[in-house]
Copies of this chain bind each other. A is one copy, B any other.
Amino acid sequence: MDPHLLTTFVTVARRGSFSAAAAELGYTQSAISQQIAALEADLGLALLSRRPVEPTPAGRRLLEHAGPLLLRLRAARADVLRAAAGPRHRLRLAATPLAVNAAVAGRLARARAAQPRLDVTLVSCGREQVGALVAEGEADLGLADGIAAPSDPLRLPDTGPMTTVAVSEEELVVALPAGHPVAGRTALRLDDLVDARWLQTEVCPLARLRDLAGDGFPVALEYRGDDVHTVINLVAAGHGLTLLPASALSTGSVPPATRGVPLAWPRLVHRVELLHGALPPGSAADLARTLSS
């Protein structure tokens, strides 16, 4: 179970080809073949079927472990090196788009006012990447958003030893086009909308809603991306409904064709969490304190 071999295995499985993996990793096909053979011999199992190259059931099982395992390995290495390198002057902050709401932006401004010499790079990324970037030390702090019950933590993929602190919780609204039959209501229940047309987005994954409010929630349109403005326009055009934090619909740039109606049941909030590894005392720790205060 050498990580080296594991990396090769993951690459071969992803590319579906020994030769493609060889090219990607800078080896010859022969070396890849031998590495896979060594891994299979070590476990005593066939991990890949050849022609076509596809993981066997055992291989699929191993793949589920291999990704997080290799991530943690890189994270450990990066963390040790980073801790030894000492504090950086330019902080990197990885954040999902909706995590940077008014409250967070305000606190960030407060921190920068208190520490004028603080340089910050804000990197926008997807929800799964926040944890990985922080774990690997690519980012000093991470901000992730999601939908959760009040005071409940987000269920973020585990990427290693990491501290998560709640930063903000905010009311959720159902975003719908102005002409929608229920657009005039003052509050909505999710179970009244199980048969409505819904957008499948990263902000509001429908699988999450089915967990919380029962089956249903047919997918009208899937949006792969994380631009809030795009989502709002899709809603306005009647492609489907979605949940958004209230503030996302009250920033002025919203087309008048979109309405937001507060969600009365289930009790859900839009939650933002701050992620970080062990922070050396210094500007990163100060910023973390300000952001979570």
Which A residues contact B (CB, under 8 angstroms)?
A: 1-3, 43-45, 57-58, 61-62, 64-66, 68-69, 72-73, 75-77, 79-81, 83-84, 158, 160-161, 278
Residue in chain B with minimal CB distance to A47:
B80
Q: Is the CB of A57 within 8 A of B73?
A: no
Q: Is the CB of B80 within 8 A of A76?
A: no
Most buried by B among A61, A80, A83: A80
Most buried by B among A43, A62, A84, A161: A84
23 A-B pairs with CB atoms under 8 Å apart are A1-B3, A1-B73, A1-B77, A2-B2, A2-B3, A43-B77, A43-B80, A44-B81, A45-B80, A57-B83, A57-B84, A58-B83, A58-B84, A61-B80, A61-B83, A62-B80, A64-B161, A65-B76, A65-B160, A65-B161, A69-B72, A72-B72, A158-B161
Q: Is the CB of A1 within 8 A of B76?
A: yes
Q: Shortest beta-carbon distance, A98 to chain B, in Å?
A: 26
Complex alpha-carbon distance, A16 and B182, angstroms: 69
Q: Shortest beta-carbon distance, A78 to chain B, in Å?
A: 10
Given A64-B161, A161-B68, A43:B81 Cβ within 8 A: yes
